[in-house]
Amino acid sequence: MKRDRIEEIAELLDKRGKLTLEQLDEQFPNVSQMTLRRDLFQLEQEGRIIRVRGGAMSVKEVQKVSGEPYTKKTTIHTDEKIKIAQKAASLIDENCSLFMDGGTTAMYLAKELPDKNLHIFTNGLAVAIELAQKKNVNVTMLGGQVMKDNLSTASPVAKAYFDNTNFELAIISASAFTPGNGFSCGAQIEADLLKLARAKAKATYMMLDSSKIGKIMPYTFAHIEDIDVLITDDNFPANLKALFTEKNIVVM
C-alpha cells in the first residue's frame, strides 16, 4: 500500500543518499510519477527527506557532511550507540519516571523510545526536543548553564529541582571508563549532576559503548558497584564483563 511504498522510498533514499525521480520511477514501475511525487512530498512534510530539483535526498545524507561540533560527534560509533539505545529502550516500561543525560547515546535512546506514557527528566537540549515530539511522554528539562560542546545543561541549583521530584530510573552514559577510575566525564558540574541523579534514582543503568573503555576523564561520577545494569555493545571485553557480573551487575 501507500505507507509501505513510502517507507520503501525512505529506506532507499537513506541507502543511496540521493535519487532522481527517474530512478524512483524505475524502482516503482507500477505507479505513476505523480504518485511518487506525492510520496516525496509527504516524506518532506515528515522531515525525513529534502526534495531537490529532479528528485530528493535523505536528510541523513546531508547530516554526514556535517561540520558542527555536536553533529560531528553523533557520527562516531553510530551503529554501536544505536544498538545500545535499542537495548536500553527495551528496558523501559510504561508509566516509568526516569532521568536521562544529554549525551549522544541518550539522543539515540530518545529516538528509539516508543511513544509510551513516561515522565522523563533530562539535561540535554537536543534530547528534550526529540522527546517533545512524542505525545505521551512528559518531559522536564533541567536548567542551568548550557555547555556548548554537548548541548546539555548543568547547574549547582539542580539539587533544588530534584528535591521535589521523583524518578525510579537513571539512564546515563559516561565519556570514559576504567576499572580503577570508574565512570568519568569532562566537567565537574556535569559529574555533580550525574551523581545526584544516580543517588536520587532507585536504579542506575549505564550505557557505555566499548570505545570509551580505557579512557580517563577528569571527574569520576560513579564506580562499578554504583550501577545496576551496564548496557554495552558486542566488543565489550570478557574480562571486564566478569568484573561486573561478579558484583551481580547485569551486563547486556
- Part in contact with a second copy (CB under 8 A); list of ranges 32-40, 135-143, 194-202, 206-214: 135-143
Considering only residues 40 to 79 of the shown chain, the ones binding DNA according to CB under 7 A are 41, 51-55
Residue 5 or 241: the one with the smaller Cβ distance to DNA is 5
Instruction: Provide, rounded to whole angstroms, the least separation between the CB of residue 246 and a second copy.
Output: 39
Which residue from 5, 37, 38, 60 is in contact with a second copy, where contact means CB under 8 A?
60
Considering only residues 106 to 135 of the shown chain, the ones binding DNA according to CB under 7 A are none
Neighbours of 247 (CB within 10 A): 10
Nearest by Cα to 101 from 93, 110, 92, 111: 110
Which residue from 23, 140, 181, 210 is in contact with a second copy, where contact means CB under 8 A?
140
Q: DSSP code of 124?
A: B
Class of residue 79 by CB neighbours under 10 A (exposed 0-12, middle 13-18, buried 19+): exposed
- x-or-dash string of contact with a second copy, 146-175, rule CB under 8 A: x-x--x-x-x-x--xx--x-----------
Instruction: Provide, rounded to whole angstroms, the least separation between the CB of residue 176 and a second copy.
Output: 23
Hey, is 4 helix, strand or coil?
Answer: helix
**At CA 207, angle to CA 219 and CA 200, rounded to 5?**
65
Cβ burial 180-192 (10 Å sphere, 16+ → b, else e): eebbbbebebbbb
β-pairing, 176-178 with 182-185?
Answer: antiparallel
Q: Which amino acid is at 176?
A: A
Instruction: Tell me: does residue 18 bind DNA (CB under 7 A).
Output: no
Give the residues lining the site for DNA (CB under 7 A): 1-2, 5, 20-22, 30-35, 37-39, 41, 51-55
Q: List residues near a second copy by CB under 8 A.
A: 46-48, 50-53, 57, 59-60, 62-63, 65-69, 71, 125-126, 128-133, 135, 138-146, 148, 151, 153, 155, 157, 160-161, 164
